[in-house]
Structure 1
Amino acid sequence: MSSIKKLAGQTLWYGVPTIASRFLGYALSLLLFWLYEPASTASITQVYAVIPFLNILFTYGLETSYFRFVQDHDKHTVFNTLFSSILISTLLFTAIVLLNTQTLAAAIDFPDHPEYIRWIAWILFFDTLSVIPFAKLRQEGRPRFYAFIKVFSIVVNVILVVFFVGVCPKLYKEDPSNAWLFFYDPTIDIGYYIIANIISSILTLLLLSKELLSFRFSVNWKLWKQVMQYSYPLIIVGLGGMINEMLSRLVYTRVLDLPREEELRQLGIFGANYKLAVLITIFIQVFRMGAEPFFFNQSKEENAPRTYARVMKFFVIACSFIWLGIVVNLPLIKYIGYGENAALYQEGLSIIPILAMGSVFLGIYYNLSVWYKLTNKTLTGAWITLVGAVITILLNIWWIPLFGYNGSAWATFVCYAFMMIISYQLGQKHYPIPYVTKKLIAYLVIVTILFLIHQAFIYFISTLWLGTAFGVVLIGVYTWFILLVEKKEFQKLPVIGKYIR
């Protein structure tokens, strides 16, 4: 249990800043939904769907490679080699993006805003240079400093967005000569959302200056070749993952044959509800922050497979709670998320349960992926992700014209379900782990049934607060059930264990 306790502690430290930053970032998105109609937010939806794709190319799997190779190589050599590599490549990739801004802007169907591409190039530049220093902090078990940097960065981002997007337009209408508007250009408008991100990324890199000062430009070529052999399949994994997650928004207006304004309206609704649906990925990201270095460090222990199985069980229990909490509170969430514009966005609420469960499948897949990372079979992981990407592409092209964003949501669900199942089957052949599979499936089925019961209730009783109260009751029922079934497991946990008798 000590290993689980350690993972829980690290997840907490990584989790607090990640949850805080993601929720604050999410609040920024909500600010846009409160201030702008769906069609106006479509450009931001599209641009921020591009960043993850480019981020995969810029980082090319070196974060995971750092955790892998620092286990059996000198950590200074690994740090210097990987940071030297990423420094050179980042300069090169940034130059390529800056020289092709108009082409990339046209590729995402927003040729009128090439400046957005220039701005995200600088976000990628500074964020990429922070990747290896952040990995160093995580590997060395320094989550408090990590937490401070993440929280400080997002707080600055929030302040800047609120000022430039929320405050400055009002000041400009009242008095264009106001001294507070010295740096404000009203023609940029919603673009300040991206500019604020650039400034926070610069500050993040500056706060990592101590880690950067320990860097010495040197490349151990033998090590670098080993790293590239290990990491290049991770590029495929990453790109495939981003195709599965982001492609639907990038191609949405391309595969529809509707008036431009209607396409943008649907894309804005899709992007907004997608953000609500992937609230569950905040927890998944938090978990990965602590779990990835933990899995590698734990791999040398004799009971590692059993530990991985127990981690999976707690993970699925946590995800099922979060999923249920989201889907039974959708009527309330829409008002919090969209304010006075709720009526404009609410037609897309039906995709949230589908996408959220797809995110649960993705989180389980991340847990299962430990087998190919530990056995150096990253190429197999790449093939799984590639097949998933093909499924995503084909189903989006087929289903979006027929069913709109509902078709895209189901495409995501099918893709992640496939990746989860095939990874489990292959993993049990190459690195058997004693997962309690039937029990985990039962937990996911039960929360789905509870959701359907809630849907039936609000169909006949549409009062907001009664529906919310009944949702709380259902969450309470599930809590009681889990504590009853997993009583012995929870009794072993630190802090809360003494209360479960």
Structure 2
Amino acid sequence: MSSVKKLAGQTLWYGLPTIASRFLGYLMNMALPFIFAQPSVTADLTQVYAIIPFLSIVFTYGVETAYFRYSNEKDRTALYNTLSLSIFVTTILFSVLLYIFRGSIAGAAGLNDHPEYIIWMLGILFFDTLATLPFARLRQENRPKKYAFVRVAGIAVNILIVFTFLGILPSYAKNNPDSFIGTFYSKDVGIGYYLIGNLCGSLFTFLLLWKEWKQIRFNFDSALWKEVMNYSYPLIVVGLGGMINDMLSRLVYQHVVDLPKEQAKHELGVFANIYRIAVLITIMIQAFRMAAEPFFFNRAKDEDAPRTYARVMKFFVIACCFLFLGIGLYLDVLKWILTLKSKAWGEGMNVVLLLAMGNIFLGIYYNLSVWYKLTNKNMYGAVITIAGAVVTVLLNIVLIPKFHYWGAAIATFSCYLLMMVSSYVLGQKHYPVPYARKKIINYLIVVTILVVLHKLILLLYAPLWFSILTGTLLLGFFTWLVVQVERKELQGLPYIGKFISAR
């Protein structure tokens, strides 16, 4: 249990800044319905942010995971120098190539009206990529305070710029057109200030990590680089497949849905907003991964490592269940908030729960993936991800034209379900872990039943206050259930344990 307590503590250290930064960014994106009345205005921005993760996988080519994998076996200084030099050279090369073909990229993405978005996007990718290994080093060396400060500071700059240029300056410039401050604002940029804010935040983050870059020495170990690349290249396939599964629905939505251009942009804007609600779960997943990835590698040689991984999985699923209930039981509240400016933003909210459960499956898959990373069988991960990508592509193309939001949600849910089950079956053959399978399945079934029960109750009486009251009671019931079942283990956890009394 001590190892689980340590992971819980690390997840709080690394997770809280990640949650804070991602949640601040999440709130900034969720502010779109309050700034723009029509979802179609946000379609091009959605398109850009659907492209960035794909390119990020290529730019980083698995070096972060490889750094954790080899940092306990190789000389860390040599490893850091070699990988840093590698990623610096390739980042410049990829950026130059994409800049040369920026026009073609804009045309393929349907961004001909805003080619400047591609340039800003490349700037974001450039600085975010160069920050990858310094962040990994901070995590590996257990330096959470600087990690937290840099993460939060970068997103704070991002938010400050976005809200200044979209929330304050528009009205100020309108009332004071000849003022000096008003000259900084251009109405034509519009939602593009989201990208400018992101670019400034990424640049500021890189500057705060400058000390980590100054420590790099021109000491490139070609033999070490080849060994690391042999390990990491399947992770590129895994990453690209994962991005297909995560982002494809938003990338292709307006291109495959059988609607006029403006209506297609409207639905893309709405669906992207729907997806942001489900992403609440992935914020927690990302926070967990910040601590879990180095933790898994560091514990790999322990005799009781499989049991530790099983405990981690159980508590991870419990945390996801609480998030699922938080979304499902208070969905009416979220809808009410999002539709204050325009009712158009409330479309398709009924698919949120399917997307949320699909994202829980994705989180479970990330936990399960430890088996192929620890056993150097990354090609299995690539095969699983490719299989999921095939399902995603086929279902999106077939279902979106017919079922619109539901089609995209079904594709996401089916893909992550397939990946989760496949990884579990293969993992138990190559690296058996005694997961609490029955408990995990039962928890997922219980939270699904509670959300369905809540919906049925609201069919009889549906004022917002009653929805909140009944939702809170059902959430309280699940909390009580978890405490009864997991009392002994919960008492051993940091922070939480002191609130759990003995029987």
- Compute the TM-score of the two structures, normalised by the length of structure 2: 0.98
**One-letter code aligned to 2:41:** S
Which residue of the partner structure matches residue 96 of structure 2?
A: 95
**One-letter code aligned to 1:215:** I
By how many angstroms is 1:335 displaced?
2.9
1: CA distance between counterparts of 2:22 and 2:501?
Answer: 32
1:423 aligns with 2:423: yes
Which residue of the partner structure matches residue 60 of structure 2?
A: 59
2: CA distance between counterparts of 1:257 and 1:362?
Answer: 29
1: CA distance between counterparts of 2:459 and 2:146?
Answer: 48
- The answer to whether the 8 Å contact 2:333/2:464 transfers is yes
Which residue of the partner structure matches residue 257 of structure 1?
A: 258
2: CA distance between counterparts of 1:40 and 1:218?
Answer: 48
Q: Counterpart of 1:55 in 2: which secondary structure?
A: helix
2: CA distance between counterparts of 1:350 and 1:491?
Answer: 37
Which residue of the partner structure matches residue 401 of structure 2?
A: 401
The verdict on how the C-alpha distance between 1:338 and 1:137 changes in structure 2, with shifts beyond 3 A counting, is farther
By how many angstroms is 1:110 displaced?
2.1
Which residue of the partner structure matches residue 411 of structure 1?
A: 411
Stretch deviating more after TM superposition (5-14 or 332-341) = 332-341
2: CA distance between counterparts of 1:349 and 1:497?
Answer: 36
**One-letter code aligned to 1:132:** L
The verdict on how the C-alpha distance between 1:202 and 1:495 changes in structure 2, with shifts beyond 3 A counting, is closer
**One-letter code aligned to 2:49:** Y
2: CA distance between counterparts of 1:105 and 1:495?
Answer: 49
- The answer to whether the 8 Å contact 1:34/1:339 transfers is yes
**How many aligned positions are there?**
500
**How far does the alpha carbon of each residue in 1:184-210 deviate from its partner, in whole angstroms, 9 at most, with x for none?**
222111101100111111110110111
The verdict on how the C-alpha distance between 1:337 and 1:139 changes in structure 2, with shifts beyond 3 A counting, is farther
**One-letter code aligned to 1:430:** H
**How far does the alpha carbon of each residue in 1:125-156 deviate from its partner, in whole angstroms, 9 at most, with x for none?**
00000000100000111111100001111111
1: CA distance between counterparts of 2:167 and 2:58?
Answer: 34
**How far does the alpha carbon of each residue in 1:345-404 deviate from its partner, in whole angstroms, 9 at most, with x for none?**
112101110010000000000000000000000011001000100000000000001100
1:28-43 residue pairs with structure 2 within 5 A? 28-36=28-36, 37-43=38-44
- The answer to whether the 8 Å contact 2:176/2:182 transfers is no
**One-letter code aligned to 2:467:** G
- The answer to whether the 8 Å contact 1:171/1:178 transfers is no
1:320 aligns with 2:340: no
2: CA distance between counterparts of 1:33 and 1:56?
Answer: 30
2: CA distance between counterparts of 1:434 and 1:132?
Answer: 33
Which residue of the partner structure matches residue 340 of structure 2?
A: 339
**One-letter code aligned to 1:350:** N
Which residue of the partner structure matches residue 49 of structure 1?
A: 50
**One-letter code aligned to 2:365:** Y
2: CA distance between counterparts of 1:141 and 1:84?
Answer: 23
1: CA distance between counterparts of 2:257 and 2:362?
Answer: 27
1: CA distance between counterparts of 2:49 and 2:35?
Answer: 18
1: CA distance between counterparts of 2:434 and 2:258?
Answer: 49
2: CA distance between counterparts of 1:110 and 1:462?
Answer: 43
2: CA distance between counterparts of 1:496 and 1:190?
Answer: 42
By how many angstroms is 1:96 displaced?
1.1
Q: Counterpart of 1:128 in 2: which secondary structure?
A: helix
Which residue of the partner structure matches residue 353 of structure 1?
A: 353
By how many angstroms is 1:338 displaced?
4.4
**One-letter code aligned to 2:308:** T
1:364 aligns with 2:364: yes
- The answer to whether the 8 Å contact 2:5/2:492 transfers is no
Query: Cα RMSD between the aligned structures?
Result: 1.0
2: CA distance between counterparts of 1:14 and 1:178?
Answer: 44
Which residue of the partner structure matches residue 197 of structure 2?
A: 196
**How far does the alpha carbon of each residue in 1:379-430 deviate from its partner, in whole angstroms, 9 at most, with x for none?**
1100100010000000000000110011110110000000000000000000
Note the residue ranges of structure 1 that are not aligned, 5 or more in a row.
none
Stretch deviating more after TM superposition (163-172 or 238-247) = 163-172
The verdict on how the C-alpha distance between 1:496 and 1:259 changes in structure 2, with shifts beyond 3 A counting, is closer
By how many angstroms is 1:112 displaced?
1.2
- The answer to whether the 8 Å contact 2:338/2:345 transfers is no
- The answer to whether the 8 Å contact 1:101/1:115 transfers is no
1:59-458 residue pairs with structure 2 within 5 A? 59-341=60-342, 343-458=343-458
2: CA distance between counterparts of 1:465 and 1:153?
Answer: 38
1: CA distance between counterparts of 2:209 and 2:257?
Answer: 45
**One-letter code aligned to 2:6:** K
1: CA distance between counterparts of 2:5 and 2:135?
Answer: 22
**One-letter code aligned to 2:129:** T
2: CA distance between counterparts of 1:257 and 1:329?
Answer: 32
Counting aligned pairs with the same residue, the percent is 55
- The answer to whether the 8 Å contact 1:30/1:338 transfers is no
**One-letter code aligned to 2:230:** Q
**One-letter code aligned to 2:205:** T
By how many angstroms is 1:339 displaced?
2.9
**One-letter code aligned to 1:400:** I
- The answer to whether the 8 Å contact 1:253/1:263 transfers is yes
By how many angstroms is 1:438 displaced?
1.1
**One-letter code aligned to 2:113:** D
Which residue of the partner structure matches residue 492 of structure 2?
A: 492
- The answer to whether the 8 Å contact 2:8/2:494 transfers is no
Stretch deviating more after TM superposition (133-142 or 180-189) = 180-189
Stretch deviating more after TM superposition (105-114 or 412-421) = 105-114
**One-letter code aligned to 1:117:** I
- The answer to whether the 8 Å contact 2:8/2:493 transfers is no
Q: Counterpart of 1:242 in 2: which secondary structure?
A: helix
2: CA distance between counterparts of 1:495 and 1:478?
Answer: 20
- The answer to whether the 8 Å contact 2:338/2:346 transfers is no
